[in-house]
Structure 1
Amino acid sequence: MPKVSRIIPILENLLFFWLGLALVLSLAGDRLSIPPILQVLGRAHPLILHFPIVLLLMAVGLLWVSDERLKRAGAQILLVGGNLTGITVVAGLILASEEYEGDALVWHQWLGVASLLLSVLIYFFREKSGKFVRISTGTLALAIILTGHFGANLTHGEDFLLAPIQSKEVDLVTLEEAEVFQHLVQPILEAKCIACHKEGKVKGELRMDQLAGLQKGGKNGPFVVPGDLEKSLLIRRINLPKEEKEHMPPKNKTQLTDEEIEILEAWVAAGASFDQKVTELKAEEPLFQLASNKFTAQKSYSFDPASESTIKDLNNFFRKVNTVFPGSPALEVAYYGSSTFDPSSLKELKKVREQVVKINLNRMPLADVDLGILGDFSNLEELQLNTTGITPTQLSSLEKLQNLRNLALSGNQFDSEVIGALGKLKQVQRLFLWNSGLNEAEKEELKKALPGTMIDFGFDGKGVIYALNPPKIEFETVLFQDSMELILSHPIRTAEIRYTLDGSEPDSLASPIYSNPIWLKKTAQIRTKAFAKDWIGSQTANALLFKKGINPKSYKLAFEPHTRYSAKGATSLFDGIKGKTNHTSGDWLGFTDNPLEIELFLEPDSKAQTLDLSFLFNESAYIFPPESVEIWTGNQSGWQKMPETPSLTATKLEEVRFGVLSYQLPDTDFEKLKIRLKPISKLPAWHPGAGAKGWVFVDEIIIN
């Protein structure tokens, strides 16, 4: 007991020390320089905070009982718990200096200090009155709970506590409703990025939980540069090798999937818009294609379906009534045969007026038809009236259709009178007016009348030269056995398709003209372009196709690949499986500190003639062509080195792509091969990581 009596005064004095230090750090911590050794203490905050919480709550419970011995025990536990609380609060305040900010931090910080202050007050004034003890200990218990709550919000997110009881239903978004950022990009950022870049924890001065923070960027530059993958910090960081310090997400966090990386890259390449709708993208854009795979075109409806017998009765030779997709209550109606069209048949559709969402009346003679009947179709979303002879007066009946989103009026001749009629249809989102007879002034006036509507006036190509789409390359597989048929095609039949098979750029004069299917009998790097009179030549389409080779009898790597990019070891180089464009897919062997050096032992009489090396190139991720390639052939008399040929070189950041280096082997007898690929030792000056080590990524070695 004498020893304990000497310790108690020390602990009592320490309470004031911790409280004073906590107040100093709270009020002036941003102006203090924290030494590294104390930063270690700060990072221990999550490890030590649980024990004082238990002690304080235990002390609160004991101070409420009437037994004097238990109360004394409670006071001693409170003294120890108060000191540990002081250490925890000080550690937390030191940790808060490391890129934490926001309301949650402020509440967590001051509630922690308040808990320490209450502990001190309760300990020294516990004998004053029972009422004081009950009120102060109750307040302390509440402060501890709230401190823990805001701490959990900082670490796990604001919805951490109530997440298990919150609804997990996900709203289905249709392609028509989807927005590029909100529905395609933001969910990726929320799942993989925001934990380290949100209110309360802002690493690199970059906040990603609010739009303004994304647009502002961080201390290392802009988050994204619209249309520029090379300068966009987001794209550079996600493509760095995982073991790089700046790779995002950090290697101990859940990584982005191939699809997520593709979406983010396509979003930046398409302009990194924060308010664009998916339907505003061009159909051929990669981002639209990714979105079309993600979002359903099958909108859900709340109204009841029509009976099957009613739908069956409405179907005949000139009218088809079908569900918009199997199982949907929504119906679409299409009319056929203008010579047999009977306007009175529109009245028959009243039986399903609640269920009809689309009506196609293209080419039906509607010049004198009363379209007032359509005003009863409250759920009608799309109406096609192309080449129907409709007049502006008839369009006034469409004002009642508040759900009308798409209206097609192409092929009808209008004058300025139509502007007033269409200007009242503010609910229409897409309006098609090809060959409508409107002049440029009238078109501009209509645009002003409908500022929220996308109006398509069609294409006028007079005096304008447009670029062709690239040809389509069709083949069965990337790795073929003996030979494979290669088919090139273009939607414009008069377009001339030129191609090369050696990786060189095709031109409109010297390159071969495609006329019949090409039969490949060896590894080929095909590039093809389309040319036509009065058109600009297309962009290049390309494909890298490999002829499967002979498998070596055995092989031996001199150096193991990097542990993170080891695939299935040397076996991966001869398994006939082509890697994906993502270097983290597990199909590639990656080398950076050591070269790829491998010895191959061939079967007798293999008569190897060619050697193809299949690479991945991604300069943004430091993956370059090899700095040098050395090849030896060998037999019982020793090794003979082949003359070195220049390797490929990279001169700028390019898109992720496959590459191949092909070599003609000497016409001599040899039983083994040795290949040595040296990674680039220093990245060039034009690269953001200039001077750093580069990587070589290989997935196949093919011998024929």
Structure 2
Amino acid sequence: MSRYSKGISLLENLLFFWCGLSLILSIGGDNLVIPSWLQVAGRMHPLMLHFPIVLLLLAIALLWMKEESWRGFGKNLLLIGANFTGITVVAGLLLASEDYEGDALAWHKWLGVVSLGFSVFIYFFLDQVANLFRLAGSGLAVLILLTGHFGANLTHGEDFLFGPLMPKEDKMIALEEAEVFRDLVQPIFESKCIACHKEGKIKGELRMDHLEGLQKGGKSGPFILAGNLDESLLIQRIHLPMENEEHMPPKNKLQLTEEEIEILRLWVMSGASFEQKVMELPQEEPLFQLASNKFTTEKTYSFAAADEDEVKELNNFFRKVKPIFPGSPALEVAYFGASTFDASSLSDLKNIKEQVVKINLNRMPLENVDLSFLSDFQNLEEAQLNFTGLKSGQLEGLSKIQSLKSLAVSGNPFGEEGLENLKKLTQLKRLFIWQSGISESGREELKKALSTVQIDFGFDDKGIIYPLNSPKIDFDKVMFQGTTEVKITHPISSVEIRYTLDGTEPDSINSPVYKEAISLTKTSQIRAKAFAKGWIGSEETKTLLFREGMKPKSYKLTDEPHKSYKAKGATTLFDGVKGKANHTSGEWLGYTDSPLEIEIFLEKDQKPKAVELSLLLHEGAYIFPPETVEIWTGNAGTWSKVTIPPTPQSTKTEEIRYGLLAFDLPQGSFDQVKIKLKPIGKLPSWHQGAGSKGWVFVDEIVLN
């Protein structure tokens, strides 16, 4: 017998050895004591498994061919591949005795054994199944792929193979909805720990893929001891030197970041709760401060946005419907003009009832109006119903809206008989109920019934010195040509009005006293206050008036504005039309994901000395001054950057208003100007949406 024949015979006999050994280990492996040297052999399973996969698939491909020479080579390759399959299956069964269990392991183990048996069957009965080989070969290929799939699930997690094909969603988590464990701690475990501590692979007898496993701990003791950093194995292991074999995660795995280590430490120290919400933490605690930077206070909503055309149709002179902040599907509705209010118009909102989260009906005549329609607004969070003539019975339907968190019903004559219906509003977080005819004892009764609700009953104004009303600034147009006149008036003729034109706040001593109409010849910010003896000085009134500048030859935006706030494109910036003080008016360019960058090409005789940028500011809607402003002047594509001072940034939330940035341009000859405004990347910590992206809104660029 030749050496070749002897080799083939040996490999064929080995196939029966591998099959027998695999069956013994599969059926009785749990009752066997595996020596340490065999455990080393078992741990070679991940190193060897690629050989049989490649060899068997290549053998199947060759055996499909018609040429006898290729088929003969394919049969020999099948023999070698089947032997490698046997070695790999035996090694895998030895490895399975170490901290592995679960459905994924069972499927991987038995599919591996079946793959071995099927490859041996095909080899010995190849001639007999020649006509069915394509079917048998395809079946073996499918078995190999399924075995590999369940093996990958063991090592890399569920759906490792098909993960890239599955849709991914970047879930925005609102701070008020975030939970400490679910949204801060568990993601760390999932990315850095669970691969070695889950169903099918339980190192150290510790499972971290469900709460019971975390609470139970592992073979070395309790994984977490609430408030006890020294005795919690989690904290001990992550702080061990990386060279220590008990360091978590192992040194060959992706390590925890400093922030992740701090989150885990603070979580254990604060009590290691599995249910606590972030908002339940004291705000001075470091864990709350860490969390407030990770989550947005832009509340996320699962419902789809309303049809834009439908929203536009609902807007008119007595009703305004707009998103609560740019890009949000959630809407707020406000009604104006009590004398023209028609209660039947409330039915118009039925098509957007899913999207309405705020409704303002202040001072609308709602007496005898059936408010039960609001119970259909199951996402309604805030209702303003002040001074509307409501009776307590009309509030009954509001108790059914579990999403309702803030209710303002001041100035409505509920009296003591209204207490019973008010007590049902247990889902609220805030209740404003000034001037509602409720006695002191009734207030105490209501406080007791709504113990978790913050109730505002108003205040006693006896002995208080009242502030003056703000003065009124009258003018013809916000955007004027040449010269315009400004008048400042107050309903009390004896007050003294002080004003400024340079943007500073007026005071009662140094600011000019208004005596006659002010003539303006340039863009100016007018700020005015009223003062009188025995009164508190008024809040200031302010406005920005813009003088039209020169019209450039042409202009070009580098990036398009956000699709919802694109107005008329670049033309908007030089059309001489001032946008209304409302970001949804359709007259503003809005940017959030990219900067506003524009190139302006000048006529030959144009020599601008300054550039002014007209902004909209509304911190409550995430609209801020730009984070940075860059200006260049150029000739024929050669640019020179203009040195400008840092951009002043908002320090608190104020009412919606116009903003102005003005910069001098250098002397000399240039025929191009380039301007770049970068939106604020992360809103400051004092803002309700700390850490979220901000917006920049611009409606005019003025060259003077």
Q: CA deviation at 1:411?
A: 11
1:174 corresponds to 2:174: yes
The DSSP-based 3-state class of the residue aligned with 1:358 is strand
Q: What is the aligned-residue RMSD (CA, Å)? A: 4.3
Contact 1:408–1:433 (Cα < 8 Å) also in 2: yes
Preserved contact between residue 22 and residue 89 of structure 2 (Cα < 8 Å): yes
Aligned to 2:264: 264
Q: Does 1:375 align with 2:374?
A: yes
Given that residues 59 and 75 in structure 1 are in contact (C-alpha distance below 8 angstroms), is that contact kept between their aligned partners in structure 2? Answer: yes
Report the number of matched residues: 442
Per the alignment, residue 150 of structure 2 pairs with 150
Distance 1:200 1:272 in 2: 26
Task: Find out whether 1:52 has 2:52 as its counterpart.
Answer: yes
Q: How does 1:293-308 map to 2 (within 5 A)?
A: 293-299=293-299, 302-303=305-306
In structure 2, how many angstroms separate the alpha carbons of the residues matched to 1:47 and 1:417?
76
Hey, what's the Cα distance between the residues in 1 that align with 2:307 and 2:150? 46
- Contact 1:196–1:202 (CA under 8 A) maintained in structure 2: yes
What is the alpha-carbon distance in structure 2 between the residues aligned to residue 393 and residue 106 of structure 1?
63
Preserved contact between residue 383 and residue 408 of structure 1 (Cα < 8 Å): yes
Which digits, 9 at most, give the CA deviation of each residue in 1:187-245, with x for residues without a partner?
Answer: 22111111111222111111222233223222222332233333322222223333332
- Indicate how the Cα distance of structure 1 residues 291 and 343 shifts in structure 2: closer, same or farther if over 3 A, else same: farther
Which secondary structure state, in structure 1, belongs to the residue aligned with residue 383 of structure 2? strand
Residue 122 of structure 1 corresponds to which residue in structure 2?
A: 122
Which residue pairs with 2:96 in the alignment? Answer: 96
Residues 215 and 440 of structure 1: CA distance in aligned 2, closer, same or farther (over 3 Å):
farther
- 8 Å Cα contact 2:62/2:73 also seen in 1: yes
- Please give the secondary structure, in 1, of the residue aligned with 2:357: strand
Match of 1:688 in 2: none
Q: Does 1:71 align with 2:71?
A: yes
Amino acid at match of 1:255: Q
Q: How high is the TM-score relative to the length of structure 2?
A: 0.54
Alignment check: 8 A CA contact 2:396 2:421 kept: no
Alignment of 1:215-614 (within 5 A): 215-299=215-299, 302-303=305-306, 324-326=324-326, 328=328, 330=330, 354=352, 357-358=357-358, 372=371, 375=374, 378=377, 379-383=379-383, 392-399=392-399, 401=401, 403-407=403-407, 418-419=419-420, 422-423=423-424, 428=427, 430=429, 437=441, 455=453
> What amino acid maps onto 2:47 in structure 1?
L
Distance in 1 separating the partners of 2:288 and 2:339 = 39
Distance 1:260 1:11 in 2: 53
User: Alpha carbons of 1:224 and 1:371: their partners in 2 closer, same or farther (altered >3 Å)?
Assistant: farther
Q: CA–CA distance in 2 between the matches of 1:391 and 1:221?
A: 62
Q: Secondary structure at the match of 2:13?
A: helix
Q: Shift in Å at residue 8 of structure 1? A: 2.2
Residue 113 (structure 1) shift: 0.8
1:16-69 Cα shifts (integer Å, max 9, x gaps)? 111111111112222222222222211211111111222222332333444444
Deviations 1:249-300 (A, max 9, x none): 2222222222222322233233323233333334333333322221212235
User: How big is each residue's C-alpha offset from its partner over 1:457-492, in whole Å with a ceiling of 9 and x where there is no partner?
Assistant: 799xxxxxxxxxxxxxxxxxxxxxxxxxxxxxxxxx
Cα offset, 1:422, TM superposition? 4.7
Change (3 A) 1:348 1:93: same
* Contact 1:395/1:422, CA 8 A, preserved across alignment: no
User: Equivalents in 2 of 1:393, 1:373: separation in Å?
Assistant: 10
Structure 2 partner of 1:190: 190
Alignment deviations for residues 340-366 of structure 1 (CA, whole Å, 9 cap, x no partner): x9698696995889575335789x899
Q: Output the amino acid matched with 2:39.
A: Q
- The offset of 1:328, in angstroms, is 4.4
* 3-state secondary structure, aligned to 1:14: helix
CA contact (8 A) 1:387 1:411 kept: yes
How has the CA–CA distance of structure 1 residues 409 and 177 changed in structure 2, closer, same or farther, with 3 Å as cutoff? farther
Aligned to 2:81: 81
Given the superposition, is the C-alpha separation of residues 53 and 303 from structure 1 closer, same or farther in structure 2, using an over 3 Å criterion? same
The CA deviation at 1:431 is 5.4
State the distance in 2 between where 1:404 and 1:5 align: 84
Please state how far the C-alpha of 1:391 moved relative to its aligned partner. 6.1
Alpha carbons of 1:243 and 1:432: their partners in 2 closer, same or farther (altered >3 Å)? farther
User: Is the CA contact 1:411–1:433 (under 8 Å) kept in the aligned structure 2?
Assistant: no
TM-score, scaled relative to structure 1: 0.54
Which one-letter code corresponds to 2:243 in the other structure? E
Aligned to 2:2: 2
Alignment correspondent of 2:159: 159
Residue identity opposite 1:12 in structure 2: E
Indicate the SS of the match to 1:357.
strand
- 1:446–1:97: structure 2 CA closer, same or farther, 3 Å change rule? same
Distance 1:441 1:226 in 2: 39
Look up the SS of the partner of 1:383 in the other structure.
strand
Rounded to whole Å, the distance in 1 between the matches of 2:270 and 2:386 is: 32
Does structure 1 conserve the Cα–Cα contact (< 8 Å) formed by 2:341 and 2:365? no
**Aligned residues of 1:367 and 1:391 also touching (Cα < 8 A):** no
**Aligned residue type for 1:302:** A
Query: Structure 1 residues 415 and 381, CA, compared in 2 at 3 Å: closer, same or farther?
Result: same
Instruction: Tell me which residue corresponds to 1:18.
Output: 18
Q: Give the residue type in structure 2 aligned to 1:89.
A: V
